[in-house]
């Protein structure tokens, strides 16, 4: 279980694994945690880390094992501006290995917030009058963008002033985020740095979409 109510991609998530007391002594070979997300309707593992190994859990005695886990930059975010994204989920599964057998002992939901760059992009799109009708994670990659995982999180956006939807995709990395806008008549790409707070992203996005059919 993670200590914080929410984490961000690229940060360290701290938590504790709580093991209850068994009827007899148990030699625990390994304790691991796995991050999972739903990709194209199927829950998949995208990161596994070992928390502890090689100890004896005494009969009737519990144990709390603290850990830190780096959150991958491409971790899908499950919440934006206080709103939960219904079709996007990230969960943490805890596994204990005893006598060569792996046992899942708990699965906990993880609230993931967007990176600084992703937040500014979504906020700019929102300020231009677009609403986020739907978001999900699908298999796929963006040509020319370095990715560690073969999946993408995208948003379908709607606006009263538009004649069609806008699809927004962001891929985070240690420097910032690559952004892909698809307005139906072509794709528009740009990059945003996490530490760039001076660029008017709303103006940049509006310019990239002109003279798109959504104008």
Q: Where do the DSSP E strands lie in 85-204? A: 90-98, 101-109, 131-139, 151-158, 166-172, 176-182, 187-193
Element (H, E) at 125: helix 116-127
Q: pLDDT band at 186, cuts 50/70/90?
A: confident
pLDDT of residue 213: 44
| Beta-bridge partners for 32 | 50, 95
Contact indicator for 8, 76 with CB cutoff of 8 Å: no
- pTM listed for this prediction: 0.89
Across the chain, what does the average pLDDT equal? 92
pLDDT interval class at 162 (50, 70, 90): confident
Judge residue 88's burial from the number of C-beta atoms within 10 Å of its C-beta, 0-12 exposed, 13-18 middle, 19 or more buried: buried
Task: Name the CATH topology of 12-109.
Answer: Immunoglobulin-like (2.60.40)
**For the segment 32-64, what is each residue's pLDDT rounded down to a tens digit?**
999 999 999 999 999 999 999 989 989 988 889
Domains in the chain: boundaries: 12-109, 116-209
What burial letters (b/e) apply to 120-143, b meaning 16+ CB within 10 Å?
A: bbbebbeebebebeebbbeeeebe
Quote the CA–CA distance of 107 and 139 in Å, as a whole number.
23
**What's residue 214's pLDDT?**
47
């Amino acid at each position: 279980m993670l200590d914080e109510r929410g984490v961000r991609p690229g940060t360290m998530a701290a938590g504790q694994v709580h093991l209850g007391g068994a009827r007899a002594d148990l030699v625990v070979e390994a304790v691991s945690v796995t991050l999972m997300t739903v990709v194209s309707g199927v829950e998949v593992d995208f990161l596994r880390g070992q928390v502890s190994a090689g100890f004896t859990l005494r009969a009737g005695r519990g144990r709390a094992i603290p850990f830190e886990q780096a959150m991958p930059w491409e971790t899908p975010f499950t919440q934006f501006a206080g709103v939960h994204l219904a079709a996007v989920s990230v969960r943490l599964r805890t596994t204990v290995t005893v006598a060569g057998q792996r046992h899942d002992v708990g699965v906990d939901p993880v609230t993931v917030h967007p990176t600084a760059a992703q937040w500014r992009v979504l906020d700019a799109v929102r300020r231009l009058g677009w609403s986020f009708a739907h978001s999900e994670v699908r298999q796929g990659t963006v040509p020319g963008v370095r990715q560690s995982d073969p999946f993408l999180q995208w948003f379908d956006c709607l606006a009263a002033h538009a004649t069609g939807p806008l699809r927004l995709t962001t891929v985070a990395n240690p420097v910032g985020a690559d952004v892909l806008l698809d307005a139906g008549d072509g794709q528009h790409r740009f990059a945003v740095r996490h530490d760039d707070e001076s660029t008017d992203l709303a103006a940049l996005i509006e310019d990239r979409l002109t003279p798109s059919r959504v104008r």
